[in-house]
Amino acid sequence: MRKRIAIIAHGGAGGLNYPRRRKSGLNKAVKAGYEILRQGGSSLDAVEAAAIILEDTKIFNAGTGSYFNLTGDVEMDASVMTSELNFGAVGIIRDVRNPISVARMVMEKTDHLLLCGENAIKFARFMGMGYHDPKTKEKEHIWRRKKAKCESNYFKKIGDFTDLYGTIGAVAIDQHGLVAVATSSGGINLRLPGRVGDTPVIGAGTYADRHGGASATGHGEQIMRHLIALRAVTFMAKMPAKQAGKKTIDYATKFGCRCGIIGLNKKGEVLCINNTKAMSWCYIKNGRLRSF
């Protein structure tokens, strides 16, 4: 039995508004996940528990407190993956409290990898998830303010409107050396209805294999183009986690991909890096908690 348990979480790679609320949400999430790992629980249970806490913490852009799309609706994306290559995801799901748990159900209860839209909601209801309105006053206010600034050529300039990345993610390694990743997002502010970001796309926002796991946050279209999470895990197969993070972020920067990445390799080494203004993160390793 391996003893090297660890968990890391991020709260998005945008600016650090409300740092205290961010820090306390992240601390609570990793502590809950770590407790599961300490008691011999699985990395999958640990990242789901951490992600649920973050989805329920309104400051983050995931679950309750997700950003609104252009027409004022909340459409959420989420995914989970394990180092055994199991994967499950939901795209543009509405009216559920914890998209991450629906993603896990897709992974465990179906033969599919990704369910989207109305039918993802129907699946969630079929699996017993009730109605929940994830809209908050705070995010509605941001939406109103930003929408007022929209110009007619907005569609080609969405990058200029989206400096507030607040997706959440968690990566854990359990006593058996299994790695799991969870990523959940309300997408980017003012996106077109129906837009799916990097979060539920395997290899883009989330990836894990026997070498480790990674979760990305930032400009989803660019993260998808450059398969940032897969790239980080692939580098972790060849070099220490810190160096793998540096290589990935250098690559992202070279191609104008604004993002942040967290990860753990199979030894429990931490990867935590970003090329955006800031990124909120927190991890527990060897029983010690560190945060941004």
Determine the Cα–Cα distance for residues 92 and 25; give it in Å rounded to an integer. 24
Stretch that binds ligand ASP, among 25-33, 82-90, 145-153, 215-223 (CB under 6 A): 215-223
Is residue 186 within 8 Å of residue 160, measured between CB atoms? no
131 to 53, 99, 122, 189: CA distances (angstroms)? 18, 12, 11, 23
Determine the Cα–Cα distance for residues 65 and 272; give it in Å rounded to an integer. 24
Q: Contact between 220 and ligand ASP (CB under 6 A)?
A: yes
Tell which positions 32-51 bind ligand ASP, by CB under 6 A. none
Q: Tell me which of 101, 185, 206, 276 binds ligand ASP, using CB under 6 A.
A: 185
Q: Contact between 218 and ligand ASP (CB under 6 A)?
A: yes
Annotated active-site residue in 64, 82, 167, 183: 167
| Minimum gap (Å) between residue 82 Cβ and ligand ASP | 21
| Minimum gap (Å) between residue 229 Cβ and ligand ASP | 11
Q: Contact between 263 and ligand ASP (CB under 6 A)?
A: no
Determine the Cα–Cα distance for residues 200 and 116; give it in Å rounded to an integer. 10
Q: Contact between 199 and ligand ASP (CB under 6 A)?
A: yes
Stretch that binds ligand ASP, among 19-27, 136-144, 182-190, 207-215 (CB under 6 A): 182-190
Nearest alpha carbon to residue 220 among 61, 96, 87: 61
Q: Tell me which of 197, 200, 212, 213 binds ligand ASP, using CB under 6 A.
A: 197
86 to 95, 123, 135: CA distances (angstroms)? 26, 19, 31
In one-letter notation, the amino acid at residue 197 is G
Catalytic residue check, 71: no
Give whichever of 213 and 218 is closer to ligand ASP, judged by the CB atom.
218
**The tokens 């941001």 sit on which residue?**
142
Give whichever of 87 and 165 is closer to ligand ASP, judged by the CB atom.
165
Nearest alpha carbon to residue 25 among 188, 186, 169, 125: 169
Does the annotation place 141 within a ligand binding site?
A: no
| Minimum gap (Å) between residue 138 Cβ and ligand ASP | 15
Nearest alpha carbon to residue 171 among 258, 48, 88, 22: 48
Q: Which residues bind ligand ASP (CB under 6 A)?
A: 12, 61, 165-167, 185, 187-188, 197-199, 217-220, 223
List, by residue number, the catalytic residues: 167
